[in-house]
Structure 1
Amino acid sequence: MFRKTVNELRQRLRRPMLALVLAGATALPAQAESLADAMVAAYRHSALLDQNRAVLRAADEDAASALAALRPVLQWVANYTYQNIEGFDGNSRSLSLQASMTLYDFGRSAIAIDIAKETVLATRAALVGVEQDVILGAVEAYLNVRSATEQVDLQSNSVRVIGQEQRAATDRFDVGEITQTDVSQADAALAAARANLASAEGELQIAREVYRTATGKMPGKLSPPPPTPKLPATLEQARDIGRRSHPAIQESQRQAAVSELGVAAAAAERNPQLTGSASLSTSRNKSLSPFGGISHGGQDVGQLSLQMSQTIYSGGRLPAAHRKAMAQRDAARAALLNTSRQVDQAVGTAWAGIDVARAQIRAIDEQITAAQQAYDGVREEATLGARTTLDVLDAEQSLLEARANKITAEANLQLAHYQLLSAMGLLTVENLKLGIPTYDPSAYYNAVQDAPYTSRQGKSLDRVLRAIGKQ
């Protein structure tokens, strides 16, 4: 009996405690989205990344095709023929199995394989560049939403403060302290503040739409950005990292290698080519004469052959192709040099953007402090009749502009840091340590590099890679 009473007491105590826990869990605020969350969402959501991954897989298949050119080609051929010659009907059937293979082409196939491999590496570098663009777009969208939200809050507060000033001006006009002109100035300032608020709300809505496009979802509550990434000690160190790591430079290097091989491939087109072929065939013939006679026949044939060929004269086509390849090589070298200079410029621009934003923030902090003191003083003097309503409104506007400028400068400082990472080639999921599964650009190549005779394996791997990319 005593044990039953104790159990009932426990049950009664447990119910309110459970209700309290559930109520507390329900009251917990939704977790704010971080900048890392935005970058992860953009990486998983991007259709542009999916597109370029498919482009890379197509390049992987080109490498497999180049290797397949060294292997024999086996095919069967079936043939049926009906004839009527001067009243004689006849038909023939044949079935043959044929195999052919390039035995030696003096380096042409080997060069084609090297070209395909270098193209794969160039396409991988291009994919990294797209990844950087996607992540930088997410960073910019995130910072724009936060900046636009703060601008809306600032403009809302401005409408509230100017509204108070407008009501105070109306009260002072009613007691004869100021003129109707002062009231009209306050009315105009309030209308301008409301217009600025409407504009800020529009900018916020636009920023939210850009964020949705970048990440696949509308932004919720965004947490403050994390501390800015650590930078190299000097600008020259940053440029050295960019020259070594930027995917655009790596892609241009691979393209230059492809163009060099293209010159060798164009020269190899003048070399002879040795091919071998083998076939087995069986044929059956049947003929019917106008007098009713029927004749049958057939034969089985096996054949082996070797063939060597070389172009002696091409009408100028082969020399033109060789000259074209050399021109393309020169263009690729110039493109590499130009890309390197562009990366240097991007690093220097982002570095300068960081310095400018830091200097702006320091100056704006001083401006805000002075503007706040001026505003407080003007308001106090206005209550004593030493200042007009317009003076108060001007001081308030100066303070508002300083605060708005600081919001913009802080966003620019954050963005410039990530722009510098992008310019150095370090704005990737792996380098940022976002802790999510990433697309392995070599997995598909490893599966198809031996040119398997069926694509079933490639299709299965495709599904696995897409699943990894969407986790």
Structure 2
Amino acid sequence: MARRTVFGMVAGLCLAAVNAVPASAETLAEALSNAYVTSGLLDQNRAVLRAADEDVAQAVAALRPVLSWSGNVSRNYGSANNANLLTGDYSWAPSADVTASANLIASLTLYQGGARRLGLEAAKEAVLATRAALVSVEQQVLLSAVSAFMEVRRAEETVTLRRNNVRVIGEELRAAQDRFEVGEVTRTDVALAEARLAEARSLLAAAEGQLAVNRETYNAIVGNYPGALQSPGGLPRLPGSVPDAKSQALATHPDMTQLRHVVAANDISVRIAEAQMQPKVELQGSWGASDTFDSERANRGGAVALGLSGPIYQGGGLTSGVRQAIADRDASRAQLYSTGRDVEEAVGSAYAQLRIAQASLVSTREQVRAARVAFEGIREEATLGARTTLDVLDAEQELLDARAAQISAQVDETIAAYAVLASIGQLTARALGLAVPVYDPAAYYNMVRSAPVKSQQGADLDRVLRALGKN
């Protein structure tokens, strides 16, 4: 009767204990939110985006007049010849004076082949490309968080299974020793149980080590060590078919969006390179004053000039620049095409991995059911003497392996489902509805696009940077 109780512990401990979840367990959504908020990689790429926003401000500034000033104070010294031919006097007298000057200069480029306005358009395209790159980084961060969360879940449940296995085999070993003492089994049965217990302890140590590794990975990605983790309640909503998912990915995946804007910027760069061959018309005005101390000499005045200049010969450098811009544009177009094929492949592969995980989950559920039935039958037969201790240990191990395979299949299915979301460009905080303040990539751009100087808007920017801790 005691032996039957020992064997009866296996199914309950292996199947029920791993499903117990504390009421305060951390959810996958909370882990994703923490990863989004604490990610240094996202902070880094947001700063890169702000730098790109400033390129637009600088391109706007290039369209405006340039006003500058200069000042100079100089002391002239030397000697003068005071020779008088009538009197015959001949002498050198020292001379010195101090002169101060100040100038105010204004210039405005009226025409440069449209290069400056094209530069503004190229900067805007670069901003849009950088925004898309930020979305791509966000997807990487969130997918890493999903993987870290689920791997900790896998490791925790594996450790629970291994601990229960060690406990149960320990009870079986004690039962085998008791039966050996009364002559019901041989010393071989005891040795088999001892060997299986040693193996179970080794596997438990490996599982605990893997859990420690996964906890460190979780902390690095999410920003805190995991407590009790709650199993996800279901999978995210996905497109109904692979062709639909591929179409959506080609339209909305951030890598595709980024490259479209890169191609547009490179198209503009060709026109900018061509504009460098055009003449330049510049209007310049200046006003200045100079005064010599200890003298009545002083000058006041200004000038207005309209200048025209242009290249004649630069050794072929300008035409080379045009050819280079065309080559860069063609390369980005080819990259857009190849990336489209890569995106379609990634979608197909992600769906294939999801189907594999789902099929594995179905089969492992059946495997667990069959292994449980087999174990219970062999256990009953062992009580009647029709089965050996080794048979019971093997059946218990098969049930344990089936349950471990089921856990892995559940983890793989969740990771694969979120990988599908990432492959179509929908693994973002906004699309997932995470309870976090979603970063607005246009907020900083809207503040700097008019290139503010020292104004209320400039003061607002200073406060934003101080809040970000970046200045």
Alignment equivalent of 1:148, drawn from 138, 141, 155: 155
CA contact (8 A) 2:253 2:423 kept: yes
Aligned twin of 1:439: 439
CA shift at 1:198, angstroms? Answer: 1.3
Which of 43, 47, 68 is residue 75 of structure 1 equivalent to?
68
Map Cα deviations across residues 65-120 of structure 1 (whole Å, 9 max, x no partner).
01100111111101011222233222211011111111111210111001000000
Matched with 1:340 is: 340
Say if 2:437 is the partner of 1:430.
no
Q: Is the 8 Å Cα contact of residues 33 and 435 (structure 2) preserved in structure 1?
A: no
| In 1: Cα distance, 2:429 partner to 2:466 partner | 21
Corresponding residue for 2:119? 112
Q: Distance in 2 between matches of 1:462 and 1:298?
A: 48
d(CA) in 2 for partners of 1:194, 1:141: 25
**1:418 alignment counterpart:** 418
Counterparts of residues 57-456 of structure 1 (less than 5 Å): 57-86=50-79, 87-286=94-293, 295-454=295-454, 455-456=458-459
1:386 CA drift (Å)? 3.0
Counterpart of 2:460 in structure 1: which amino acid?
Q
- Contact 1:444–1:462 (Cα < 8 Å) also in 2: no
Return 140-149 or 374-383, whichever deviates more: 374-383
Give the unaligned 5+ runs of structure 2: 1-21, 80-93
Deviation of 1:440 (Å): 0.9
| Counterpart code for 2:463 | S
Q: Secondary structure at the match of 2:441?
A: coil
Bigger drift between 220-229 and 53-62 goes to 220-229
SS of 1:326's partner is helix
Aligned partner of 1:457 in structure 2 is: 460
Gap regions ≥5 residues in structure 1: 1-28, 287-293
Range that drifts further, 209-218 or 438-447: 209-218
Identity %: 47
CA distance in 2, matches of 1:63, 1:230: 38
Larger CA deviation: 111-120 vs 430-439: 430-439
Cα distance in 1 between the residues matched to 2:166 and 2:38? 39
Q: Counterparts of 1:226 and 1:460 in 2: how far apart (Å)?
A: 42
Q: Secondary structure at the match of 1:442?
A: helix
Structure 1 stretch displaced more, 376-385 or 58-67: 376-385
Secondary structure of the structure 1 residue equivalent to 2:297: strand
* Aligned-pair Cα RMSD in Å: 1.6
Q: After TM superposition, give the deviation of residue 203 of structure 1 in Å.
A: 1.5
Shift of 1:450: 0.7
Cα offset for 1:461? Answer: 3.1
State how far apart, in whole Å, the 2-side matches of 1:339 and 1:226 are.
34
Q: Which runs of 4+ in 1 moved over 6 A?
A: none
Q: How many residue pairs were aligned?
A: 431
Deviations 1:34-88 (A, max 9, x none): 1111111111111111111111111010001011001111111010112222332
Match of 2:88 in 1: none
Whole-Å separation in 2 of the counterparts to 1:69 and 1:126: 27
Q: Which amino acid aligns with 1:322?
A: V
Aligned to 1:52: 45
Q: 1: distance between equivalents of 2:441 and 2:221?
A: 22
Q: Which amino acid aligns with 2:34?
A: A
SS of alignment partner, residue 363 of structure 2: helix
Distance 2:60 2:249 in 1: 34
Once the 2 structures are TM-superposed, how far is the Cα of residue 401 of structure 1 from its aligned partner?
1.1
Q: For the residues of structure 2 that align with 1:263 and 1:105, how far apart are their CA atoms?
A: 15
Distance in 1 between residues matched to 2:318 and 2:184, nearest whole Å: 96
Q: C-alpha distance in 2, partners of 1:458/1:328?
A: 35
- Shift, 1:151, TM fit: 0.8
* Whole-angstrom CA distance in 2 between matches of 1:99 and 1:218: 60
AA matched with 1:147: R
Q: CA deviation at 1:141?
A: 1.3
* Corresponding letter in the other structure for 2:57: A
Indicate if the aligned counterparts of 1:99 and 1:278 stay in contact, CA closer than 8 A: yes
Distance in 2 (alpha carbons) for counterparts of 1:356 and 1:342: 21
Contact 1:96–1:282 (CA<8 Å) still a contact in 2?
yes
1:30 deviates by 6.0
Greater shift, 392-401 or 254-263, is seen at: 392-401
Cα shift at 1:463: 4.9
Amino acid at match of 2:386: A
- Residue 180 of structure 1 and its aligned partner are, at CA, apart by 2.2
Checking the alignment, whether the CA contact within 8 Å between 2:158 and 2:207 is kept in structure 1 is yes
> Is the contact made by 1:32 and 1:221 (CA closer than 8 Å) also made in structure 2?
yes
Contact 2:274/2:322 (CA < 8 Å) preserved in 1?
Answer: yes
